[in-house]
Amino acid sequence: NAGVMQNPRHLVRRRGQEARLRCSPMKGHSHVYWYRQLPEEGLKFMVYLQKENIIDESGMPKERFSAEFPKEGPSILRIQQVVRGDSAAYFCASSPLQPNTEAFFGQGTRLTVV
Amino acid sequence: AQSVTQLDSQVPVFEEAPVELRCNYSSSVSVYLFWYVQYPNQGLQLLLKYLSGSTLVESINGFEAEFNKSQTSFHLRKPSVHISDTAEYFCAVSDKGAQKLVFGQGTRLTINP
Give the other-Cβ count within 10 Å of B85's Cβ: 20
Contact B43 A41 (CB under 8 A): no
Q: Which residues of B touch A (CB under 8 A)?
A: 4, 6, 32, 36, 42-46, 49, 51, 90, 92, 94-106
Contact B44 A105 (CB under 8 A): yes
pLDDT tens digits for range B52-64: 888 899 998 899 9
Q: How far apart are CA A59 and CA A35, in angstroms?
A: 9
Residues in chain A closer than 8 A to B97 (CB atoms):
99
Q: How far apart are CA A37 and CA A72, in angstroms?
A: 27
Q: Which residues contact B1 (CB under 8 A, 6 or more apart)?
A: none
| pLDDT > 70: percent of chain B | 99
Q: What is the mean pLDDT of chain A?
A: 92
Q: How far apart are CA B38 and CA A5, in angstroms?
A: 16
Q: How many CB pairs under 8 A join A and B?
A: 67
Domains and CATH numbers, chain B: 4-112 (2.60.40.10)
- Chain B nearest-CA distance from A83, in A, is 23
Q: How far apart are CA B3 and CA B72, in angstroms?
A: 11
pLDDT tens digits for range A56-86: 999 999 999 999 999 889 999 999 999 999 9
Per-residue pLDDT of chain B (113 residues; tens, 9 = 90+): 789 999 999 999 999 999 999 999 998 778 899 999 999 878 899 999 998 888 899 998 899 999 999 999 999 999 999 999 999 999 999 887 677 899 999 999 999 98
Q: Which residues contact B96 (CB under 8 A, 6 or more apart)?
A: A99, B29, B30, B31, B32
pLDDT tens digits for range A20-33: 999 999 998 889 99
